[in-house]
Structure 1
Amino acid sequence: MSRIGKQPVKVPNEAKVSLAANTINLEGPKGKLSHSYHPDIKIEYDQQNRQIAVKRSLDEKYQKALHGLTRALIANMVVGVTKGFSKNLEIVGLGYNAKVQGKELLLSLGYTHPVHLAIPQGIKVDITNPTNPAKLTVSGADKQMVGQFSAVIRGKKPPEPYKGMGIKYEREVIRRKAGKAFTSGAA
């Protein structure tokens, strides 16, 4: 049996769970999430103990993988609707900055034009420091969407290895390269 899949998911009091045909819906203070799961997987919700149990019908390799995956996705949904997820990014570079205008993120990254990114539904972008180094916080209830939008932002100007300019995650370590070596003396 899957070590992860057999563990029940505890549901806090502020979250509401509803099950429909192969779909689980969770609602909490941070938002609403739903997930459609495979028909071979069965989900049971114990209202008295406030636990979600994930079970599988077969013991084949594919169902074992689905068992652990489904349980992990549901656990992430529970954390997402109650606490939420966030990623912190830093924009390092002279003249680089970030602004939020309505439902759009404007990034000035040294190009001849500003980079416009539409902020997806359910994602919130906070800017704590707009200039060098600019600090962004991407937050939301869906772990996958938070990570994906953070990766899209980072992909607009990944950090370069010589000066470290670009967009990086908060605790990301950039392996730096040595620049040109200067030798004095004529040949």
Structure 2
Amino acid sequence: MSYCTFTNSLKPGEQTVHKIYHDNHYGFPIESDDELFCRLILEINQAGLSWTTILNKQENFRKAYHNFNIKKVAAYKEKDIERLLNDGGIIRNKLKVNAAIENAKAILLIQKESGSFKNWLAHHHPKTKDEWMKLFKQTFKFTGGEIVNEFLMSTGYLPGAHDESCVVYKKVLKTKPMWKNLSKK
């Protein structure tokens, strides 16, 4: 079986956690707003670090951020920020913690206006990578170009998550047939 070049280049200790993510999550659509928020927060926390680090800590993030419940995270107070900054199981970066809280608040507004975060993303689809980046910069905190690109690729809004020769590529296309024409952009 053929896999993405990146997956094939991983060290033996990294392969298991990446393979699970690659085969079952990367590039596939996400239906739940809380899970979309989760992916955004994980991508933000990856900035400056390896994705392996984030994948190895993802369950710790899930516990620390109340299973990425948007309403709960949006209501975090100073004691919650302190709790997160003292949690050795996650990335303890004040800018990233504050971004999670502010982005949860932004998503609550999006939900009020669009019905859901997913609807908001779908409403703006398709956009070019540059258009998405501009929109995210206007809407969210700590969302640089690479974060936005990876978030959108990993959730199926931008093509490029898998090499066309990868066995998972066709599985992803089946879940998002309208993306087929975008794979060349």
State the TM-score, normalizing by the size of structure 2. Answer: 0.24
Q: Would you tell me which structure has more strand in proportion to its own residues?
A: 1
Give 1 or 2 for the bigger CA radius of gyration.
Answer: 1
Give the structure with the higher percent helix.
2
Higher relative contact order (CA 8 A, sep 6+): 2
